[in-house]
Amino acid sequence: MMNSSPFPTPAKGLPLLGHLVPLLRDPLGFLARLPARGDLVQVRLGPLRALVVCDPDLTCDVLRDDRTFDKGGPVYERLREFAGNGLATCPYGDHRRQRRLLQPAFHPARLPGYARAAAARAAETTGSWQDGQILDVLAVLQELTVRITVDTLFSTTVPPDLLTQALSDLNTLVSGLTVRMATPPPMDRLPTLGNRRYHQARARLPRLLHRLVSERQAAGTDHGDLLSMLLTAQDPVPGPAEQRLTDTEVIDQIVTFFLGATETAASTLAWALHLLGQHPETERRLHAEVDAVLGGRPATHADLPRLELTGRILTETLRLWPSAWGVTRTCTADTHLDRYPVPAGTTIVYSPYLLHHRADLYPDPERFDPDRWAPENPRPPRREAYIPFGGGARKCIGERFVTSEMVLALATIATRWRLRPLPGTRVRPTIGGPTLNPSGLRMCAIARTTTGISSPANREKPQ
């Protein structure tokens, strides 16, 4: 795109860096200010020019036409370094076949089984907390969501040493992602400690996963988990491509599911607990709901329809703090958005965060208000303006699975615990790889009785 571009730009771009400094200093504030400039705003990040879509209808146009607005841009280029050509990163040409092969793993009939695994792990984790314990909330939830993903993906068949190494490598790759997105190619190969660790992990992880897949294939047992489904999935539509996933594709999908499933859910649950800590009245209503529905017993998939407020709290949390805060696309052909020509090769950014914080779409947008989503709200938010899971053909395949996982986890926590904010702690949104995390979130776990009334000892704990 040339400087004569018809698109508005944010103020104060620097000669070489463009808008990189304000974006890195305050990414969310930067994004939230863009709609005031126009529906399509051009930003400059070092050498990269990108078009940020600030309007819900134009965002829908981008999401619906996934052939023209294909996966690409800095986020996906870096993700492909280790998620290969998995479902989330593959281009349009490979997508439909992969989605057909993977969709059965997320069929509604399979959800109760996944929910059982999620509820059992949530009960185990929360059962190990001590009254008055200070929790590093995000870390605890990351461990929980990793365990749930491992259980659903591999049942319990992975040797512990292999699992520990694979998770550590994955962690190295994800945490290196933000830095690498901002590092131009020759610099990303310099022998710095960070780069060396990243490249080691990138080489080792596929080897570990190959071992896992070969062992499972040699055993030939169907464990009824996601890995068994990946290994046996068969494309119902005949065509020139393989009818089954190749071994490399299976490995790419495993990495993709880990990336998609763990950080996002942990961060959403952590934000929800933080928000509940700030809004005691909503927390009280949540406790009343879980007490009425569960009466102290563990939550199951069958309880989900009645855990209505629990669900709305998570819906509102995903509005305020959508893990996928900014997502890129590459334009594969000359096209138009609104009345503007958009040339092939243009990088497009869509941002759930930006849309979810527009005051014209959500009155008082910074207010945490789960009742926006109540069926009796006379002015419910517009469907196109709520996109925490993206949209169109590339919409999140794990949406239903993760929604039930998070509702069950939050209900399980609320049945037994109140999490109180620690005085003086400052929680800041931090961009951790592709997700938006609450950093510095430490809370005190206070045991509840099943009637929802704290014991006298508990009332003396920090508020």
Residue ranges that bind ligand HEM, judged by CB under 6 A: 87-88, 99, 256-257, 260-261, 264-265, 268, 323-324, 327, 388-390, 394, 396-398, 401-402
Smallest separation, CB 265 to ligand HEM (Å): 5
> Using CB atoms, what's the residue nearest to ligand HEM?
398
DSSP 106: G
With beta carbons less than 8 A apart as the criterion, state whether 454 and 446 touch.
yes
Which CB, 386 or 401, lies closer to ligand HEM? 401
Cβ proximity to ligand HEM, 385 vs 446, nearer residue: 385
Nearer to ligand HEM, 264 or 415 (CB): 264
CA gap 79, 180 in Å, rounded: 10
**How far apart are the C-alpha atoms of 107 and 439, rounded to whole Å?**
34
Q: How far is the CB of 17 from ligand HEM (least distance, A)?
A: 26
Closest C-alpha among 216, 211, 212 to residue 232: 216
We find the least distance from the C-beta atom of residue 87 to ligand HEM, in angstroms, to be 4
Choose between 248 and 454: whose C-beta lies nearer to ligand HEM.
Answer: 248
Nearer to ligand HEM among residue 294 and residue 396 (C-beta): 396
Shortest spacing between CB 308 and ligand HEM, in angstroms: 19
Which lies closer to ligand HEM via its Cβ, residue 9 or residue 264?
Answer: 264
Residues 6+ apart with CB under 8 A from 255: 82, 83, 84, 86, 170, 205, 209
Distance CA(177)–CA(75), nearest Å, equals: 8
Q: Looking at beta carbons only, is 37 or 96 nearer to ligand HEM?
A: 96
Give the nearer residue to ligand HEM in terms of CB position, either 4 or 156.
156
Q: How many helices (H) and strands (E) does the chain have?
A: 16, 12
CB of 218 to ligand HEM, least distance (A): 26
Report whether 353 contacts 31 (CB < 8 A).
yes
Structure tokens given for 202: 């990138």
| Residue count (the chain) | 463
Q: Tell the smallest beta-carbon distance from residue 322 to ligand HEM (Å).
A: 6
- Residue 119's SS3 state is helix
In angstroms, the CA 62 to CA 392 distance is 9
Residue 34 three-state SS: helix
Is 90 annotated as ligand-binding?
A: no
Q: Quick one: which of 235, 215, 217, 260 has its CA closest to 83?
A: 260
Q: What share of the chain is helix, strand, coil (3-state, %, to 5)?
A: 55, 15, 35
Closest separation in Å from C-beta 38 to ligand HEM: 22
Q: How far is the CB of 461 from ligand HEM (least distance, A)?
A: 30
Q: Is 432 helix (H, G, I), strand (E, B) or coil?
A: strand
Rounded Cα–Cα distance for residues 309 and 312 (Å):
5
Whole-angstrom Cα distance, residue 256 to residue 323?
16
Place of tokens 């993709």: 256
Q: Report the binding-site residues for heme.
A: 396
Q: Report the binding-site residues.
A: 396
